[in-house]
């Protein structure tokens, strides 16, 4: 598969790239900073230089030409303000969905967050509340879009080594999950079309990732 990854220099994205390369897939990393191109190429990805916040929407479908799937793994980042939570975590995700439709790319994986889909907790900071609202808006937009989407909501992300075992379901308890395992789940979702139309939450657990993904396909029945 040829897979375009938005936010291609991010921590999950680079892990995802390396896993895809090992599997024989062809990842293409969308990056906005030219200084990041050598890094993603060293991981084995092709590179496309586009700032999704500022790009002409008409130019985006060309970046997806020939792709079998897209993954939105971009994010404004922990140091960003409220405005960029909207322009990156919502608007850029929506623009990529539109571009995928125009380019004829039918598979779309959105990396969201646990806590999306509902109002933020009252004690949430202004920035985190804006982040969750942006993710919720991007999920709703994608769910109404004509692509074969899957939404993945990870728990609190860590840099601990992956275990290859997770809890993956439509609802999961609050918890953490290594970025390694999130990337591995995305790979499995990309290669399992029966997960289309599902909103899934993932935290660390006891089930091997391939088995966990196979189990959630039964939710479509």
Give the tens place of pLDDT for each residue, 149-170: 999 999 999 999 999 999 999 9
Percentage of the chain beyond pLDDT 90 is: 75
Q: Is the pTM of this model over 0.85?
A: yes
Candidates 58, 42, 52; CA nearest to 4 is 52
Total number of residues shown for the chain: 221
Question: Which two three-digit tokens encode residue 71?
Answer: 């993954």
- Mark 94-103 as b/e (b = at least 16 C-beta within 10 Å): bbbbebbbeb
How far is 40 from 128, CA to CA, in rounded Å? 28
Question: Which one, of 141, 16, 15, lies nearest residue 70 by Cα?
Answer: 16
In this predicted structure, the answer to whether residue 133 has a pLDDT above a threshold of 70 is yes
Q: Model confidence over 98-115: pLDDT tens digits?
A: 999 999 999 999 999 999
In 3D, which of 79, 76, 81 has the Cα closest to residue 52? 76
User: For 176-196, what is each residue's pLDDT tens digit?
Assistant: 999 999 999 999 999 999 999
**What is the Cα Rg of the chain in Å?**
16
Cβ-contact 25, 44 below 8 angstroms: no
Tell me the angle at which helices 93-103 and 126-143 cross, rounded to the nearest 10 degrees. 20
Helix and strand counts by DSSP (H, E) for the chain: 8, 11
What is the rounded distance in angstroms from the CA atom of residue 90 to the CA atom of residue 133? 9
* pLDDT(86) > 80: yes
| Beta strand 176-178 pairing with 156-158 | parallel
Catalytic residue among 47, 131, 135, 209: 131
pLDDT at 75: 83
Let me know if 131 is a catalytic residue: yes
Confidence of residue 54 (pLDDT cuts 50, 70, 90): confident
- The pLDDT score that the predictor gives to residue 220 is 54
pLDDT at residue 24, as a whole number: 96
């Amino acid at each position: 598969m040829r897979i375009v990854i938005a936010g291609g220099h991010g921590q999950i994205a680079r892990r995802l790239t390396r896993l895809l390369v090992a599997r024989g897939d062809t990842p293409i990393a969308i990056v906005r900073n030219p200084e990041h191109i050598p890094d993603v190429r060293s991981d084995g990805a092709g590179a496309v230089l586009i700032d999704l916040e500022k790009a002409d929407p008409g130019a985006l479908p060309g970046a997806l030409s020939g792709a079998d799937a897209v993954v939105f793994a971009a994010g404004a980042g922990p140091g960003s303000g409220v405005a960029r939570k909207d322009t990156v975590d919502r608007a850029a995700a929506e623009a990529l969905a539109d571009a995928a439709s125009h380019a004829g790319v039918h598979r779309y994986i959105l990396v969201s967050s646990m806590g999306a889909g509902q109002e933020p907790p009252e004690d949430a900071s202004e920035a985190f509340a804006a982040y969750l609202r942006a993710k919720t808006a991007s999920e709703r937009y994608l769910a109404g879009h004509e692509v074969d989407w899957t939404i993945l909501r990870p728990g609190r992300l860590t840099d601990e080594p992956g275990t290859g075992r997770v809890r993956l379901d439509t609802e999961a308890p609050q918890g953490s999950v290594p970025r390694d395992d999130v990337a591995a789940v995305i790979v499995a979702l990309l290669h399992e079309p029966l997960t289309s139309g599902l909103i899934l939450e993932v935290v660390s657990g006891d089930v091997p990732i391939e088995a966990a993904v196979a189990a959630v396909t039964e939710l479509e029945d």
